[in-house]
Structure 1
Amino acid sequence: MPRRAVILIEGASNGLGYVQAAQHLDLDPIVLSADPARYDYLAAEGIEAIRVDTDNLEALIRECSRVAADIAGITTSYEPFCATVGKLCRHFGLPGPNPTSIEQCCDKFTQRQLLAKAGVPIPAYRLAANTTDVESSAAEIGLPVILKPATGSGSVGVRLCRNIDELAEHTTYLLREKHIWRSSPRVLVEEFAQGPYYCAYTMGNEAIAISAADSGPPPHFVFRECTLPAPLTGDEHERIVEVSLESLRALGLGWGPATIELRWTKRGPLVIEVNPRLAGAPDPQLIQLAYGVDLITEHIKLAIGQECNLRRKYSRTAAERFLVADRDGTLDWIDGVRRAAAVEGVAAVKFHVKPNTPIVRKGDYRDWMGYVVACSPSRAQTQTILERAVDLITWSITPLPALGDQAQSAEPCIRTRQTL
């Protein structure tokens, strides 16, 4: 008897994890993508991939009907297609998220309106469509403010504006220059919520874990390190769980995974953003290392109508360090990866880039060249393991020559070492 198929719409940092989890559940994963070649793991794993316009719902419906007579479930690891998956699941009578709730959540302005209406604590915010709106909104809220697109993920286009000059510069960037809009430009102007950053990971109506993270220097928010579990008192943990579940109820997200970002301020926890999907890699790996809960597998179980098991099997401390370049240029070489991976307690060392790759920092998740993951019974031990492994990794980046400056191209490579 042929195995049942699970349809995966596009992929992202967790794409390989979803493919492998489906196989472990004795399912045949089939990936539908506008460009399957962008996912190198498909060929490596021998996974069936179909080229289709994934922005076209009718085309997806036709392809799903054609490629698999027995579809066990349809899902995705990529936020832009979560609402599409919800619509496909409704069409085929399969378990899935509410597409309307997903669409409302992915519109950051609508999300904030719904959270505010439900009494969920959030930063002050305004919606702006032009420079005048941005300036007046910032004046009402008070500098510093956060400027961000009303749609998107990965901190793309997000910046702290500490003064009028930075506000004008980033407004110009978002509205008149390089930011790519898939619809009419809409910018959120938000109060800068100051305090420790936490992330709550949920499945259905249950909070699974809470991590703490640190980002690099402002004005951007490029995360450098994440630790799970977060160092919280019992009352703090309870309050973050309470606010997170309130957010899910306000947004109608009681099915599947979600990731809630918060900052603990003088007013307590404020919800910065709710993402209606599983966090990107390697966060699911941290949860599995720390608690023995495989959220990717449990998500697929939900998608195929099975009951998921979110019970913790143990409690350890897991942490990740993102490897970020300190300059633009050409990556010449990377050294020490095998030595770092051999350190006892290191669970993963991964680079997304290869030598001879141009490095152009953008101030968002695309600045991550790779990461190191470590785990042990204690926070202090995990931190020691992480530092030991990261210290073994070095790389060289040759700065790009300034326009018209041919002499600079002859300068020797500059060896850099990862630092926080």
Structure 2
Amino acid sequence: MSRRAFILVEGHKLMGLQYIQAAQRLGLHPITLSADPGQYEYLAAESIEAISVDTDSLGSLIRECSRLSATYEIAGIAGFSRADESACVTAGKVCRHFDLPGPNPDSIERCCDKYTQRQLLAEAGVPIPAFRLAANAGEVEDAAAEIGLPVIVKPAVGSGSVGVRLCRNVDEVAEHTTYLLSGSHIWPSSPRILVEEFAQGPQYTAHIMGNEVIGIEAADLHPPPHFVFHQFTFSAPLTDDEHKRIADVSLSCLRALGLGWGPTCIEFRWTKRGPVVIEVNPRLGGTPIPQLVQLAYGIDLITEHIKLAIGEEWDLRRKHSHTAAARLLVPDRNGILDWIGGDSRAAAVPGVADVKFYVESKTPIVRKGDYRDHIGHVIAASPCPARTEAILQRAADLIDWSIAPFPNVGK
């Protein structure tokens, strides 16, 4: 009897190993297909089978999976999102080719184009910010004038808040447009810029598997103009009515976009008119969301996602209801990371579930104004929201680092 393999299209520097380990616990043999397997250090460290293949090419992936099927029974295939989330789309197409469970690749592709996503949500009557599409500086300027300042200016395709900025006046609109169009920002295709109304209010994210809202997280961000997350908390402090309104709008998003298979996370701002959808992401929330959900509710989203992908019955029932929160560590300046420490002391605080640094000493720090600015996290959990916050703050206060200025080359 051939071994059952679970194919991962590309990897993930923070969550990839969790998927590998979850697949192994389910008795599967994980295999990663990647254009550059060397970028995922855990593959070599854990002796995980990895194959170099052009993951942008559907034909190449089908040929490689066909070759593997001579040795293994391919139980399922899943793709990690990249900057443009194309791997999720391609993985969905490979699933269809081999008649395996998977998302609708057309729905994911439409959803990943933020302008198309906005159009479909608007047609369905889902509350969203006012928006315009622009291809050049003049169109961006006109769109900002039509919508009214301040506005959000961002790429129409992308993730992780890369290239997203709040522009409060015409000079900031012009400055950020120049940045996006000057070659500094990497575009997967021809530049298309989305200009949006700035929806003001607390931020929340609904995390969904299939058509079930697993939980709603409160998200705190660092001050604008960029959108860098500072803290996540499960569950968000919402009334029953507020929770229901966000859940109802979330399900309306799934219907409008043709989603409803596997994981989805939907970002909201609670404005004067209630929940307004900022973005629908057809994927699992990134690190450390799965860990927080498991601590808060006892649900292992990664394992349940794999079960769905291999056609097995999943279990999304809550085992308990605690409060779990993550503080994301973000440097306040650029330079060379002299040292970072305090992780052992922070981890020893009762109630702390995890302390992780994403960088090592002597790493150059160049802030981008997006998810790449995070250099680590601290996670705490307890049955009580106030206690969880106190534990988190105590542990975060024990962590410190030093950043030295970049040397003056040539002096």
**Pairwise same-fold verdict (TM > 0.5):** yes
- On the 8 A contact 2:37/2:51 being kept in 1, the answer is yes
1:149-298 residue pairs with structure 2 within 5 A?
149-298=155-304
* Cα deviation digits, residues 31-53 of structure 1 (max 9, x gap): 00111111111122221011111
C-alpha distance in structure 2 between counterparts of 1:141 and 1:70, whole Å? 54
1:5: which partner in 2? 5
Q: What amino acid maps onto 2:61 in structure 1?
A: L
**85, 92, 95: which one aligns with 2:91:** 85
2:19: which partner in 1? 18
1:18-417 residue pairs with structure 2 within 5 A?
18-68=19-69, 69-78=72-81, 79-401=85-407, 406=411
Residue 177 of structure 1: how far off its partner (Å):
3.5
- On the 8 A contact 2:56/2:86 being kept in 1, the answer is no
Residue 400 of structure 1: how far off its partner (Å):
1.4
* Cα deviation digits, residues 315-367 of structure 1 (max 9, x gap): 00000011000100000111111111111111111111111110000000000
C-alpha distance in structure 1 between counterparts of 2:191 and 2:136, whole Å? 8
C-alpha distance in structure 2 between counterparts of 1:338 and 1:226, whole Å? 22
C-alpha distance in structure 2 between counterparts of 1:30 and 1:62, whole Å? 15
Stretch deviating more after TM superposition (113-122 or 41-50):
41-50
SS in 1 for 2:375: strand
Consecutive unaligned residues of structure 2, counting only runs of 5 or more, are none
C-alpha distance in structure 2 between counterparts of 1:30 and 1:345, whole Å? 35
Q: What amino acid maps onto 1:4 in structure 2?
A: R
Stretch deviating more after TM superposition (380-389 or 151-160):
380-389
C-alpha distance in structure 2 between counterparts of 1:356 and 1:67, whole Å? 41
C-alpha distance in structure 1 between counterparts of 2:41 and 2:381, whole Å? 28
Q: What amino acid maps onto 2:252 in structure 1?
A: E
- On the 8 A contact 1:159/1:221 being kept in 2, the answer is yes
- On the 8 A contact 1:331/1:395 being kept in 2, the answer is yes
Residue 403 of structure 1: how far off its partner (Å):
6.7
So what's the TM-score if we normalise by structure 2?
A: 0.97
Residue 76 of structure 1: how far off its partner (Å):
2.1
C-alpha distance in structure 2 between counterparts of 1:60 and 1:167, whole Å? 41
Q: What amino acid maps onto 1:26 in structure 2?
A: G
SS in 2 for 1:349: strand
- On the 8 A contact 2:8/2:31 being kept in 1, the answer is yes
- On the 8 A contact 2:133/2:192 being kept in 1, the answer is yes
Consecutive unaligned residues of structure 1, counting only runs of 5 or more, are 407-420
Q: Count the aligned residue pairs.
A: 405
Residue 63 of structure 1: how far off its partner (Å):
0.8
- On the 8 A contact 1:146/1:161 being kept in 2, the answer is yes
- On the 8 A contact 1:330/1:357 being kept in 2, the answer is yes
- On the 8 A contact 1:215/1:222 being kept in 2, the answer is yes
SS in 1 for 2:87: helix
C-alpha distance in structure 1 between counterparts of 2:41 and 2:350, whole Å? 29
- On the 8 A contact 1:77/1:278 being kept in 2, the answer is no
SS in 2 for 1:387: helix
C-alpha distance in structure 2 between counterparts of 1:80 and 1:291, whole Å? 31
Stretch deviating more after TM superposition (142-151 or 347-356):
347-356
Residue 402 of structure 1: how far off its partner (Å):
5.4
- On the 8 A contact 1:7/1:30 being kept in 2, the answer is yes
- On the 8 A contact 1:198/1:261 being kept in 2, the answer is yes
SS in 2 for 1:232: coil
C-alpha distance in structure 2 between counterparts of 1:354 and 1:53, whole Å? 30
- On the 8 A contact 1:18/1:77 being kept in 2, the answer is no
SS in 1 for 2:318: coil
Residue 312 of structure 1: how far off its partner (Å):
0.4
C-alpha distance in structure 2 between counterparts of 1:254 and 1:362, whole Å? 33
* Cα deviation digits, residues 31-90 of structure 1 (max 9, x gap): 001111111111222210111111111111111111243100000232331111110000
C-alpha distance in structure 1 between counterparts of 2:288 and 2:310, whole Å? 24
C-alpha distance in structure 1 between counterparts of 2:406 and 2:139, whole Å? 38
C-alpha distance in structure 2 between counterparts of 1:158 and 1:401, whole Å? 30
C-alpha distance in structure 2 between counterparts of 1:241 and 1:282, whole Å? 22
